[in-house]
Amino acid sequence: MADKYGNIPNIVIGRLPLYLRALQYMLLENHLVTSSKELAERLGISAAQIRKDLSQFGEFGKQGTGYQVEFLVRTLKQIIHVDTTWDVIIIGAGDIGHGIARYPGFNNQGFRVIKVFDNNPAKIGTKIGEFVVEDSATMEEKIKEGNIKIAMIAVPASQAQQVADNLVRAGIKAILNYAPITLNVPPGIQIQYIDPVMHLQKMTYYL
């Protein structure tokens, strides 16, 4: 995708959140200067790759002096656009929907869940923490009103494609899908999958 940084491969963009997380942990540890070598050890990605990835966005470190962690965190947040807070909606008030509605990990990472929808009359109007589950029939209207761009799908696989279609029609631009199914979305719509199988399969090689 062409943008202010030029044509940067998806795979490079995909590594930036990993770098950001590792750097944020360093800050928590009051660890203020780091190196591509140290990041490499934490992340299992080569130091050369890390230097190459970061160099695509500017000059972050001087040869021999390393990276200033706080500056790099701030800059990475700007690059991936999480120096702001995005409103996010959840579709599906089942187990997973409940879990992510109450997930404490979004705080200060650029996201805030603002609404939870379901199409089951037995669930509409019930509470999940601070949220009252809203009727999916009102979802498109509320997405447009709120100019919401990000949604998380936590419905059964059989309903997920229909939900995705409705989301896209309403103006959603990025979908995080928990349903165990691959979704078709138009070009320009971002989609990511939460798939425990994929993570488990990254480990069994070593067992």
- Contact positions vs a second copy (CB under 8 A): 1, 9-11, 13-14, 16-18, 20-21, 25, 44-46, 79-82, 86, 88, 94-96, 98-100, 102-106, 109-111, 149-150, 152, 157, 173-174, 176, 180, 182, 190-207
Which two three-digit tokens encode residue 201? 């399969």
Residue 97 burial (C-beta neighbours within 10 Å; 0-12, 13-18, 19+): buried
Q: Is the distance from CB of 97 to CB of 128 less than 8 angstroms?
A: yes
Given the complex with a second copy, which of 29 and 63 has the nearer CB atom? 29
Minimal distance, residue 62 CB to a second copy, in Å = 26
- In angstroms, what is the minimal distance from the CB of 165 to a second copy? 18
Nearer to a second copy, 33 or 43 (CB): 43
Quick one: 111 or 131, whose CB is closer to a second copy? 111
3 versus 65: smaller Cβ distance to a second copy: 3
Minimum CB separation of residue 205 from a second copy in Å reads 5
Token pair in block for residue 144: 């447009």
Name every residue whose Cβ is closer than 8 Å to that of residue 84 and which is 6 or more positions away in sequence.
Answer: 110
Nearest CA to 148 among 104, 105, 85?
A: 85
- The answer to whether 172 and 143 are in contact (CB under 8 A) is yes
